[in-house]
A = this chain, B = another copy of it.
């Protein structure tokens, strides 16, 4: 239910200007989905939506500019500084970085020499990380995500 409702929210929000959670609630109701404002508030939070002050409309969030927070080891700092997005397919991770930052981040990853990391290939703003297993890829993906998002 939750997933279904949340994707309906994304859909509604992408199609029209939605200014309040109550409006959203009514629109969902029209699609046969019942929920309270409280639930919708939490959905919006989980979906990472954003509310534009200019017109009060909800919108999908953009990639946030990385904060210059400096903590932890080198990989972590590099991730925080330049990782935009991480995607996983099976045992492969595709990392998107700020322009020109793929090489330094990949280098940091190589240096870390984690055993589950088989190797990396870096372009300008994309790194392909080959992991030994889908399982370990999933773990790394999550760790990177946590770091990137503060």
Q: Are B59 and A48 in contact (CB under 8 A)?
A: no
Complex Cα spacing A94 to B119, Å: 6
Instruction: Among B48, B54, B130, B131, point to the contact of A54 (Cβ < 8 A).
Output: B48
Would you call B119 and A122 a contact (CB within 8 A)? no
Q: How many residues of A contact B (CB 8 A)?
A: 41
Inter-chain contact A121/B126, CB cutoff 8 Å: yes
List residues 30-76 of chain A with CB under 8 A from any CB of chain B. 44-45, 47-54, 59, 61-64
Chain B residues with CB under 8 Å of A118's CB are 87-89, 92, 94
Residues of chain B lying within 8 A (CB to CB) of residue A119: 87, 94-96, 126, 128
B124–A123 CB distance below 8 A:
no
Q: How far is the CA of A66 from the CA of B64 in the complex (A)?
A: 18
A residues in contact (CB < 8 Å) with B: 44-45, 47-54, 59, 61-64, 87-92, 94-96, 103, 106, 110, 118-128, 130-132
Can you report 10 residue pairs joining A to B where beta carbons are below 8 Å apart?
A44-B53, A45-B54, A48-B53, A50-B50, A59-B64, A94-B118, A106-B126, A122-B124, A122-B126, A123-B123
Give 12 A-B pairs besides A52-B64, A103-B124 with Cβ atoms closer than 8 angstroms.
Answer: A44-B53, A49-B53, A50-B50, A53-B61, A87-B118, A90-B91, A92-B118, A94-B118, A106-B123, A119-B126, A121-B123, A121-B127
